[in-house]
Amino acid sequence: MLKVYNTLTRKKQEFVPQEPGKVGMYVCGVTPYNHPHIGNARPFVTWDVIKRYFRKKGFEVKHIQNFTDMDDKIIKAANTEGVDCSVISERYIKSYFEAMDKLNVQRADLYPKVTEHISDIIAMVQKLIDNGYAYELEGDVYFSVEKFPEYGKLSGRKLEDMQAGARVEVDQRKANPMDFALWKSAKPGEPFWESPWGKGRPGWHIECSTMSLKYLGETFDFHGGGSDLIFPHHENEIAQSQCCCGNYHSFAQYWLHNGFITIDNEKMSKSLNNFITVPDILKLYPGEVVRFFILRTHYRSPLDFSEERIKEAQAGLLRLKTAYDNGQELLEAREGNTENDVLLAENAQKALADFYEAMDDDFNTALAIGYMFTLAKEINTYANSVINHKGDFDKKHFGQLMDVYNEMAEVIGIFEGSLEMPTEDDGKDGISPEEIEALIAERAEAKKAKNWARADEIRDGLKAQGIILEDSAAGTKWKKA
C-alpha cells in the first residue's frame, strides 16, 4: 500500500487513484529563460522515479509537464538580446531536454506550452469572471481571493495573516491586496494576444490550471513541484481551478512538494545567483552520478550540494555498478552446474519486498537504495566465492537475484549510461581496445613466465594512459580510470 505525504492535508495518507489502475500527474515545469540548475532538476528526477515506480507496479501513467514559455523574465531576456521571445524559450527548452536526458529522466507524455493555449486560458478567465470570482480592471483581470472561502488551505495561511506581513507594494485598485492577475494588459513593446479585455497575456498561475484541467480532467491524482511553489503558485492554482469547476474538492488530490537543494546551506536560486547549472555540472560528473546524488536523500528533505557530497555519491554509485558488472560477467562467462543455492533467490525476494516497502512509504529512495547496497554485497560475495574457489555455480538462482537487482536499478533509473566521463583523446590518439587486449595478452605471457618486471611495466604503462587493469582468477579486466 502506497502512502504519500500530501501537503494539502499535512500528513501521509494512503494513495487511492481516481481511476483504478491509472495515475494522472501534473508536474510544474520550467520557465525557459536560462539553463536548468541542479535545484531545478530535483523535482524532475523525483517525479521520474515516481513514474517509474507506478509503471513497474502496473499503473497506466499520464504525465503532463508544462513549459511556461511566456513570462516577464523571458521578455526581459529577449529584449536584452534583441530577439523574439520564442528564440529564448526554444533555446532553453532544448537545454532542458538535453540536461534531463543525461539524468535519465524519461519524457513526459505531453509538454504543453502557454503560448499554445491562449484561447483555452481566455475561456477559463472569462468563466471565472462570469461566475463572479474575478473582475476586470483597466485591461487586467484579477482573481478575487475573498470570493473563495477556502483560499489558503494548501499553504496553511489565513488571508488576514498574509496581509499583515505582505511586503509587496500594493496596487490600491485591487479589491484585496492578495488578489492576483489572471490576465495582464500589455505594456508597450511587450508581446500580446487579443482578448475580451484588450491586448494582453496570461498571468503566471492560470496556465497550469488551464492545461492540467484540459489534459487530466477536473479531478486528477497528483500535482507536484518545488516547495517554493506552494505559495502563491499552487495556492492560486487551486483557487482558480476549483472556482472554475464550481467544486471545492476538484483538481489535484495529492500535492507533493520536494525540498530545496542548497549550496552552503542556502537555497540555490536564480535570483540569489548562487546556482550551478546542470550543463556545467555535467562537464565534471556523469549524469547518473548527479541523479544518484539527488536520490540518495528523501525528496522532501533539504539537500546540500558540494563537491564532497557529489564525490560520495559517485563512489557509492560506482560500488553498485561494480557489483552489477561483477554479477553480469559471472552470468555471461560461466555455465551453471547446480541449483542448490535457493537462498539466493529467497534473499532476492526479501530484498525486493523491502525495496518496495521503502518506496511505498512516500517514495523513500534513500532507504530503497540502502537495500540495493545489501544486494550488491551479496552479489559480490557470491561471485567471489564462485570465481576464487571454482565452486559450484547456481546460475538459475543467481540469475533471479540479478533480475531483482536490475529491477531496483530500473526504478531508481541507474545503470543506463556510462559512468565514465568523455575525455579529449576519445576516438583520436587514445589507445584502442585492440591494443589494450594485445598488451594484456603479452602481460599474461610475462606473468606465466614469472617475468613480473615486464608485467608491471605493461600495467604501469597502461595506467599512465588512463587504463586500469584488474587481475582475477577469471582473467584480466580493464577499465578506464
Partner RNA sequence: GGUGACAUAGCCAAGCGGUAAGGCCGAGGUCUGCAAAACCUCUAUUCCCCAGUUCGAUUCUGGGUGUCACCUCCA
Task: Spell out the long-range contacts of 183-190 with Cβ–Cβ below 8 A and sequence spacing 24 or more.
Answer: 183/121, 183/122, 183/125, 183/140, 183/141, 184/140, 185/138, 185/139, 185/140, 189/79, 190/75
| Residue 49 vs residues 56, 107, 286, 478: alpha-carbon distances, Å | 10, 12, 18, 32
CA 99 to chain centre: 11
Q: What are phi and psi of 254, to 5 degrees?
A: -125, 125
Question: C-beta of 258: minimal distance to RNA in Å?
Answer: 6
Distance in Å, CB of 460 to RNA, minimum? 9
Nearer to RNA, 221 or 237 (CB): 237
3-state secondary structure of 424: coil
Please confirm whether the linkage preceding 232 is cis (ω < 30° from 0): yes
> Nearer Cβ to RNA, position 22 or 329?
329
474: number of Cβ within 10 Å: 16
CB of 408 to RNA, least distance (A): 13
CA distance 458 to 447: 11
Q: Which residues of 331-359 are buried (b: 16+ CB within 10 A; e: fewer)?
A: eeebebeeeebeebbebbeebbebbbebb
Choice between 184 and 397, CB closer to RNA: 184
Q: Which is nearer to RNA, 36 or 287 (CB)?
A: 36
Closest to RNA by CB, 328 vs 380, is 380
Instruction: Give the chain's radius of gyration (CA, Å).
Output: 27
Residue 149 C-beta: closest distance to RNA, Å: 18
C-beta closer to RNA: residue 30 or 245? 30
Residue 31 in grid coordinates: 520557465
Distance CA 44, CA 423 (A): 28
Closer to RNA by Cβ: residue 77 or 383: 383
Instruction: Please identify, using beta-carbon distances, which residue of 42 and 52 lies nearer to RNA.
Output: 42
Q: How far apart are CB 19 and RNA at their closest, in Å?
A: 27
Q: How far is CA 427 from CA 284, 360, 418, 423, 433, in A?
A: 19, 45, 16, 9, 11
How does DSSP classify residue 229? G
- For the bound state, the minimum distance from the C-beta of residue 21 to RNA, rounded and expressed in Å, comes to 27
Give the shortest CB-467-to-RNA separation in angstroms: 11
| Closest distance to RNA from the beta carbon of 267 (Å) | 4
Comparison of 54 and 96: residue with beta carbon closer to RNA = 96
CA triplet 243, 221, 203: central angle to 5 degrees?
A: 45
| One-letter amino acid for residue 248 of the chain | Y
Judged by beta carbon, residue 210 or residue 258, the one nearer RNA is 258
Shortest spacing between CB 171 and RNA, in angstroms:
12
CB of 429 to RNA, least distance (A): 25
- Select 428 or 448, whichever has its Cβ closest to RNA: 448
Q: What is the C-alpha to C-alpha distance for residues 172 and 175, in angstroms, rounded to an integer?
A: 8
Q: In the bound complex, what is the minimum distance in angstroms from residue 275's beta carbon to RNA?
A: 7
Q: Residue written as cell 536560462?
A: 34
Smaller CB distance to RNA: residue 167 or 249? 167
Largest CA distance in the chain: 93
Which string of b and e fits 190-209 if b means at least 16 CB within 10 Å? bbebebebeebbbbbbbbbb
Backbone torsions φ then ψ of 388, nearest 5 degrees: -70, -35
276 CB-near residues (< 8 Å, 6+ apart): 37, 38, 263, 268, 305
Question: Cβ 146 to RNA, closest distance in Å?
Answer: 15
